[in-house]
A and B are shown apart, each in its own frame.
Chain A
Amino acid sequence: AQTVTQSQPEMSVQEAETVTLSCTYDTSESDYYLFWYKQPPSRQMILVIRQEAYKQQNATENRFSVNFQKAAKSFSLKISDSQLGDAAMYFCAYRRIGGATNKLIFGTGTLLAVQP
């Protein structure tokens, strides 16, 4: 079974600084998707960034980028120029390609605080 592990329950960063959130996963599949979702307090979960495992190039979305290491099964999220609005719970998620459901498998999350 696939699993996703986020070993940092909480992280803190100064406004305008850079922070990296860690995620590791376990799968026997060769093709899959990886995601980072952001869940602000009392607000709905939104997609931050996604990575297709067959792509070697790391995905970037404005201030958000990932470091995808397929052999190490590592998928970290880097937030540059952190803003107060980045404060939220961040979840790493895995989804296999193919199969019947394409359900997401989530880690336990990292709570990011941004200090002014």
Chain B
Amino acid sequence: DTGVSQDPRHKITKRGQNVTFRCDPISEHNRLYWYRQTLGQGPEFLTYFQNEAQLEKSRLLSDRFSAERPKGSFSTLEIQRTEQGDSAMYLCASSPGRMPPQYFGPGTRLLVL
């Protein structure tokens, strides 16, 4: 068990570019969550997968955001036409079913110039 991993750890991009982040949950964890954390704030829920099904999306997740979890394993979060307001830490977490806790990855820090 190597924990939740995320790639890349840091990403700098120019406004208008597309970016994609990857999350590898703990093996056999069927629930996967994405959160966004801005400076000085707690993480805010973005979206949730149970296996390969995306069951909930926050209103924070605009049309420029899309997430997938093919085959119920790793997940990707794509942001199209990035804006400076997208600059944040994007956290992934996984859990083994309905019972807590959620285990967090190290996050991907995005800076949009």
Contact = CB atoms under 8 A, between A and B. Distances in A.
Interface residues of B, number: 25
B79 interface: no
A50 B100 contact: yes
B55 A101 contact: yes
A14 interface: no
Nearest to A98: B98
A43 B42 contact: no
A104 B40 contact: no
B72 interface: no
A105 B45 contact: yes
A104 B42 CA distance: 10
Interface in B85-113: 91, 93, 95, 98, 100-107
B31 interface: yes
A99 to B, nearest CB: 9
B40 A108 contact: yes
Contact of B48 (A33, A44, A101): A101
Contact of A44 (B31, B42, B101, B104): B104
Interface string A46-75: 110010000000000000000000000000
B28 interface: no
A43 B3 CA distance: 13
Given A43-B106, A44-B106, A44-B107, A103 B33 contact: yes
B62 interface: no
5 contacts: A45-B43, A93-B42, A95-B100, A100-B48, A105-B45
